[in-house]
Chains A and B, each alone.
Chain A
């Protein structure tokens, strides 16, 4: 399967719209937990060879010396990895937001652990809601691994190797979002490989049937 024929332009458009709906839901879910407004952007879908992912991510973040990443895997018919990428320091900004509500209290612990836990919590909500909504729209059910956070590493050093050791193509769904109150940008990547593609093409077709 080559890069061009993995999914058609129309399938890409459908996936983009589904991603848009899913991320809107994720932002609303997050806003219920913390007092935040997420500025949404138009999602971008790319087809890449998995081996090219580290270079792609390095280029995407070439202005940032350090980044934080929350990773969560998901399994269903739709399966893959979700990566939520923040500039380093974003966790500290988000901690202050969690604190603003006055309802959440933290045990005394180091700021690194707090930052890590905050990123995991935000990642868990955003990834769970986003992937969950995609699965719901495509009539699938997914399960998740616990979120895992990697803080302040260069992208090429911190990417899980399992993502890149395959010669498969990967469908990469990217959404950029901005936490308005704190001017923090984040990037959500959903990476699914060829194992999911045959199912995905059929599911997208079925989804659009109701709109024929």
Chain B
């Protein structure tokens, strides 16, 4: 069951957009980080059930943060939410261990579907 969600995105608006797409019928605990490095540190501290990760970010990009998170926790469920829809980018993050890749802008449907898949994975 998903309880704790980590959102890593440098854009406060993008984090707001994502949160508004997450169903309100459950009381999730949210943690937010504005770059990949802060996201990695927060991941280690909070051990979220699911992490939404942007790719294009300052300080540490999302692909690097994803790789570090998977190194730290090979079972981490990281959903990459990105505007970078180049095939090479998607292939790279899948190889790094992304659970899913969701294209920006987020929609209620795309986010709910992603959470449902994560829920099934957790079992």
Contact = CB atoms under 8 A, between A and B. Distances in A.
Contacts of B86: 24, 27-28, 31, 37-38
Contact of A41 (B11, B56, B104): B56
A191 B34 CA distance: 28
B51 interface: no
Contacts, number: 62
B21 to A, nearest CB: 7
Contacts of A208: 13, 17
A31 B87 contact: yes
A20 B14 CA distance: 10
A212 interface: yes
A155 B103 CA distance: 36
A27 B104 CA distance: 14
Contacts of B17: 17, 208, 211
28 contacts: A10-B13, A13-B11, A13-B12, A16-B13, A17-B14, A17-B17, A17-B105, A20-B11, A20-B14, A20-B56, A21-B83, A23-B83, A24-B82, A24-B83, A24-B84, A24-B85, A24-B86, A25-B85, A27-B84, A28-B84, A28-B85, A37-B86, A38-B86, A40-B83, A41-B56, A42-B56, A42-B58, A137-B105
Contacts of A23: 83
A165 B56 CA distance: 36
A21 B105 CA distance: 7
Interface residues of B, number: 23
B117 to A, nearest CB: 22
Interface residues of A, number: 23
B69 to A, nearest CB: 21
Query: What secondary structure prevails in chain A residues at the interface with B?
Result: helix
Contact of B88 (A16, A37, A211): A37
Contacts of A150: none
Interface of A: 10, 13-14, 16-17, 20-25, 27-28, 31, 37-38, 40-42, 137, 208, 211-212
Contacts of B10: 42
A212 B17 CA distance: 8
A10 B17 CA distance: 13
B84 A14 contact: no
Give me the 10 closest cross-chain CB pairs, A-B, nearest first: A24-B83, A211-B20, A13-B13, A21-B83, A28-B85, A211-B17, A37-B88, A24-B84, A20-B83, A28-B86
Contacts of A10: 13
Contacts of A22: 83
Given A24-B104, A40-B56, A40-B83, 15 more contacts: A10-B13, A13-B13, A14-B13, A16-B11, A16-B13, A24-B56, A24-B82, A24-B85, A28-B85, A28-B86, A40-B84, A42-B56, A42-B58, A137-B105, A212-B20
